[in-house]
Amino acid sequence: MPQHRCFWPRCQITVPASRLGCPPHWYSLPADIRGLILAEYRPGQTITTCTPGYLEALEAAIEYATHKDQS
Protein backbone atom coordinates (compact mmCIF):
# COMPACT_ATOMS: atom_id res chain seq x y z
CA MET A 1 0.00 0.00 0.00
CA PRO A 2 1.49 3.38 -1.00
CA GLN A 3 2.34 5.76 1.82
CA HIS A 4 3.69 9.27 2.34
CA ARG A 5 4.63 11.62 5.16
CA CYS A 6 2.01 13.64 6.99
CA PHE A 7 1.46 17.06 5.40
CA TRP A 8 2.25 18.93 8.64
CA PRO A 9 5.68 20.62 8.64
CA ARG A 10 8.32 18.56 10.44
CA CYS A 11 5.94 15.66 11.14
CA GLN A 12 7.71 12.40 10.35
CA ILE A 13 4.68 10.11 10.68
CA THR A 14 3.95 7.97 7.63
CA VAL A 15 0.31 7.66 6.57
CA PRO A 16 -1.53 5.71 3.85
CA ALA A 17 -1.75 7.48 0.50
CA SER A 18 -5.51 7.84 1.02
CA ARG A 19 -4.89 10.09 4.05
CA LEU A 20 -3.52 13.61 4.04
CA GLY A 21 -1.98 13.45 7.47
CA CYS A 22 -1.69 11.70 10.78
CA PRO A 23 -4.81 11.81 12.98
CA PRO A 24 -3.54 14.48 15.42
CA HIS A 25 -2.62 16.86 12.60
CA TRP A 26 -5.67 16.08 10.47
CA TYR A 27 -7.94 16.98 13.40
CA SER A 28 -5.87 20.10 14.09
CA LEU A 29 -7.19 21.55 10.84
CA PRO A 30 -10.33 23.66 11.08
CA ALA A 31 -13.49 21.74 10.15
CA ASP A 32 -14.08 23.90 7.07
CA ILE A 33 -10.68 23.00 5.59
CA ARG A 34 -11.19 19.31 6.38
CA GLY A 35 -14.60 19.53 4.72
CA LEU A 36 -13.14 21.06 1.57
CA ILE A 37 -10.52 18.35 1.35
CA LEU A 38 -13.08 15.58 1.85
CA ALA A 39 -15.44 17.12 -0.71
CA GLU A 40 -12.74 17.31 -3.38
CA TYR A 41 -10.88 14.06 -2.67
CA ARG A 42 -11.20 11.32 -5.29
CA PRO A 43 -9.83 7.83 -4.52
CA GLY A 44 -6.71 7.04 -6.49
CA GLN A 45 -5.90 10.64 -7.38
CA THR A 46 -2.33 11.82 -7.40
CA ILE A 47 -0.82 15.28 -7.29
CA THR A 48 -0.87 15.26 -11.10
CA THR A 49 -4.43 13.96 -11.48
CA CYS A 50 -6.30 15.76 -8.69
CA THR A 51 -8.93 18.42 -9.27
CA PRO A 52 -8.18 22.14 -9.04
CA GLY A 53 -10.54 22.25 -6.06
CA TYR A 54 -8.50 19.62 -4.24
CA LEU A 55 -5.31 21.56 -4.92
CA GLU A 56 -6.91 24.70 -3.46
CA ALA A 57 -8.03 22.78 -0.37
CA LEU A 58 -4.57 21.25 -0.02
CA GLU A 59 -2.95 24.68 -0.26
CA ALA A 60 -5.29 25.97 2.47
CA ALA A 61 -4.35 23.03 4.71
CA ILE A 62 -0.63 23.50 4.18
CA GLU A 63 -0.87 27.26 4.70
CA TYR A 64 -2.77 26.72 7.95
CA ALA A 65 -0.31 24.06 9.15
CA THR A 66 2.71 26.19 8.29
CA HIS A 67 1.27 29.19 10.14
CA LYS A 68 0.35 27.11 13.21
CA ASP A 69 3.73 25.38 13.23
CA GLN A 70 5.51 28.75 13.34
CA SER A 71 3.43 30.15 16.20
Cα 48 → chain centroid? 15
- A 10 A CB-CB count for 44 gives 8
Alpha-carbon distance of 33 to 10, in angstroms, equals 20
Angle between helices 52-70 and 31-40 (to 10 degrees): 150
Q: Higher confidence at residue 44 or residue 29?
A: 29
Q: Taking 90 as the threshold, does the pLDDT of residue 45 lie above it?
A: no
Total domains in the fold of the chain: 1
Per-residue pLDDT at 71: 64
> Is the sign of the CA dihedral 54, 5, 46, 20 positive or negative?
negative
Place 68 in a pLDDT band, splitting at 50, 70 and 90: confident
pLDDT at 23 over 80: yes
Structural domain range at position 48: 3-70
